[in-house]
Amino acid sequence: MTRLSRHVTGWLLVLPAMAFLALFTHWPALATFIDSFWSTPKGRRPARFVGAENYQHMLSDPVFWKAAWNNLIFAIGTVPASIALALLMAVWVNDRLTGRTLLRMAYFTPTILPMIAVANIWLFFFTPDYGLLDQLRGLFGGQPWPWLGSAETALACVIVVAVWKEAGFFMIFYLAALQQISPTLGEAAALEGASRWTYFRRVQWPLLMPTTLFVFVNAAINAFRMVDHIFVLTHGGPDNATTLLLYYVYEVGFKFWDTAYAAALTMVLLIALALIAAVQFGVIERRAHYR
Amino acid sequence: MSRPDPYAPRGLALTLETAGAWLLAIVWIAPLAYAIWTAFHPQEFSTRFVWNAPLTLENFARVLEAAPFGRYMLNTFVYVTFVLACQLVLCTLAAYGFARYDFFGANVAFALVLAQLMIMPDVLIVENYRTMTKLDLVDTAPGIALPYVASAFGVFLLRQTFKSVPKELDDAARVEGASPLQTLWRVYIPLARPVYVAYALVSISYHWNNFLWPLIVTNSVEARPLTVGLQIFAGVDQGIDWSVICTATLISAAPLLVAFLMFQRQFVQSFMRAGIR
């Protein structure tokens, strides 16, 4: 193979994929940045350069701040809870309990169900009075409560559904990692008289660290793109109590058709994702070298 | 693995752990169990759980009469197949290029591919909608599919696999006069079969369940996938008739769910293989 043909063949092979990536990933990301400095074209009036106006509007937009805050709470609510539950599920399934195949199936099933579909069922669970949650509470004398209709509990409900959806998916990575740990480590720890908790904390948990970091990054990304259930459960309400950033981008871009402002909002999302990428490549790739 | 694990729970600890694990499993499966209960029972039992409630298929008839779920399912099927077919071709070619050709600018190009792992099409809805309008692809299957066809994840996964193929096999094929594409077809693709299965299962699950972008880019019964059809059906048409909503929910999840129950191990392993990079 001549040198020239190596370059040509290589480029010809990657070119189709690169073209689609450029058209639907690189260009839109760049265009988002550019458009965020222009006004929204309306009718016969074309877009004009407005500098940082969209960003100034954003800083004074209470709904944006609400959405950003909600998204932060959503991330803090979903990421650690998903990691903890995924680990617990993996330990249980790994422990050869009775019916572990069924357990694994039950935990994993939410992963393959459409979020938009199961959100409808959660909607019933959260319905005041005759919904499942209030029926159960009624057995213990609890009063009906508008779970999704009240600003105090709506975001928590949205978080619960998200954790339910993704914990079983993350479980399988912990399960794989647990099965990689050599049983001789457990035998050695037992000979030394270590308690189960000590064995977990000193041996298993450190060995699972690369998995935890991997799950952390994925859960963090999901926290910024998981919005399907909002469409069913709350539509961002009540009073924007459950509006997340991507949902707000959708509302501004496709309900109010203010595409320039939506571009500025998208930039915030892209920066959030870039920060997660920075964490992944900066911290994780350097620290987790013992995988 | 035949030696006993000294930290395996026994006695009371085992009982407690088993009880906890099963309790969690019941909570986790409850939404699906409820959907199945409600779909197969008459409407008056949709919020009342009586063990001897009569079974019925009437809800399915009502749903199929009220909304074109057959058409939605066909649309989803077309969209999912189209995405997967394009992904397999594009990602295979690119992965082979990155794995075996040390061409000028390969590292930069590969970094540009990986960028998509962070900046997913899900987030770029505003600009992608503008592009689809210009290309006149709004409300078509390619319109839903195209942003996903060059999958960074697929390129990455297949590149890893192709790199592990012994170079000697490649050389042997070349000596026999095979062109690059023939080598790819005869040597690399057969060896990567389990990875293709894993990738396909993950891609199908993802796109079967995809909602936000299809919601934006479709606006007619002829193009709408199941997820969007279900949302419109449950949100607008029905008020709150739980038996009908649950039945529609079950219909939209059923094909994937049945496939999962049949090939459970395959699914779990695929998602695992796809996730560990």
Residues 6+ away with beta carbon under 8 Å from A260 = A35, A36, A38, A39, A40, A47, A50, A54
Q: Where are the domains of chain B?
A: 11-62, 68-275
CA atoms lying within 13 Å on the CB side of residue A95: 23
- Determine the average pLDDT of the residues in A256-280: 91
Contact B245 A120 (CB under 8 A): yes
Position with higher pLDDT, B11 vs B18: B18
Are the Cβ atoms of B24 and A263 closer than 8 angstroms? no
Task: Indicate whether A1 pLDDT > 60.
Answer: no
How far off is chain B from A60, nearest CA to CA, in Å? 22
Question: DSSP assignment of A66-106, as one string?
Answer: HHHHHHHHHHHHHHHHHHHHHHHHHHHHHTT-TTHHHHHHH
pLDDT (mean) for B205-231: 92
C-beta of residue B32 within 8 angstroms of C-beta of residue A125: no
Q: Give tens-digit pLDDT for B138-160.
A: 999 999 999 999 999 899 989 98
Partner residue opposite B34 with nearest CB, options A130, A132, A218: A132
Q: Give A-chain residues touching B91 at CB under 8 angstroms.
A: 17
Of B47, B124, B252, the CB nearest to A29: B124
Which one of A28, A131, A250 has the shortest CB-CB distance to B128?
A28
Residue B11 binned pLDDT confidence (cut-offs 50, 70, 90): confident
- How many CB contacts within 8 angstroms connect chain A with chain B? 283
Assess whether pLDDT exceeds 80 at residue A142.
no
Q: Is A199 on the interface with B (CB under 8 A)?
A: yes
Interface of A with B in 74-133 (CB under 8 A): 88-89, 92-93, 95-99, 101-118, 120-122, 124-125, 127, 130-132
pLDDT value of position B44 = 73
- Give the pLDDT mean for A190-202: 87
Q: Please tell me the distance in Å from B190's CA to the nearest CA on chain A.
A: 18
Sequence letter at residue A43: G
CA distance linking residue B215 with residue B102, whole number of Å:
41
At A67-114, the pLDDT tens digits run: 999 999 999 999 999 999 999 999 998 887 888 889 989 999 998 999
Average pLDDT over residues A197-220: 89
Q: Specify the pLDDT at position A184.
A: 87
User: What SS3 class is residue A110?
Assistant: helix
Q: Sorting pLDDT into bands at 50, 70 and 90, what band is B232?
A: confident
Question: CA-CA distances (angstroms) from residue B32 to A110, A172, A188?
Answer: 9, 20, 43
Q: Do B125 and A253 touch (CB under 8 A)?
A: yes
- Mean pLDDT (whole number) for B272-276: 69
CB contacts of B147 in chain A (<8 Å) are: 24-25
What integer is the mean pLDDT of A34-60? 87
At A140, the pLDDT band (50, 70, 90 cuts) reads confident
pLDDT at A289: 47
CATH code at B68-275: 1.10.3720.10
User: Which whole number is the average pLDDT over B80-84?
Assistant: 95
DSSP-assigned letter for residue B10 = -
Q: Where are the alpha helices (DSSP H) in A149-204?
A: 154-180, 183-191, 196-199
Evaluate whether A249 touches A67 at the Cβ level (below 8 Å). no
pLDDT digit string, tens, across residues B33-46 = 988 988 888 877 77
Query: Given a cut of 80, is residue A269 above it in pLDDT?
Result: yes
DSSP state of A23: I
Within 8 A of B216 by CB-CB distance, chain A residues are 250, 254
pLDDT at residue A21, rounded to an integer: 94
Nearest CA in chain A to B33: A121
On the 0-12 / 13-18 / 19+ scale of CB atoms within 10 A, A197 is exposed
Average pLDDT, chain A: 88
Contact B94 A18 (CB under 8 A): yes
The domains of chain A, with CATH numbers, are 47-287 (1.10.3720.10)
Cα distances from A8 to residues A19, B71, B117, B180, in angstroms, run 16, 45, 26, 12
CB-nearest to B271 from A17, A95, A172 is A172
- Asked if B7 and A176 come within 8 Å (Cβ–Cβ), the reply is no
Is pLDDT of B1 > 50?
Answer: no
Q: How many CA atoms are closer than 13 Å to the CA of B43, on its beta-carbon side?
A: 11
Closest residue on chain B to A198 (Cα): B7
Q: CB distance A18–B98 less than 8 Å? A: no
For residue B120, the model assigns a pLDDT of 86
Rounded Cα gap, residues B180 and B64, in angstroms: 50
Q: Write the ipTM.
A: 0.88
Instruction: Write out the two tokens for B132.
Output: 């689809």
In chain A, pLDDT over 90 holds for what percent of residues?
47
Q: Is residue B61's pLDDT more than 90?
A: no
**Residues 6 or more apart from A244 whose CB is under 8 A from it?**
A67, A70, A71, A74, A224, A227, A230, A236
| Residue range A171-194: mean pLDDT, rounded | 87
Is A231–B130 a contact, with Cβ atoms under 8 angstroms apart?
Answer: no
Upper half-sphere CA count for residue B99 (Cβ side, 13 Å): 24
What's the average model confidence in pLDDT over A200-219?
89
Q: Whose structure tokens read 């911290």? A: A283
Q: Tell me, what amino acid is at B22? A: W
Q: What angle do CA A104, B246, A112 make, to 5 degrees?
A: 30
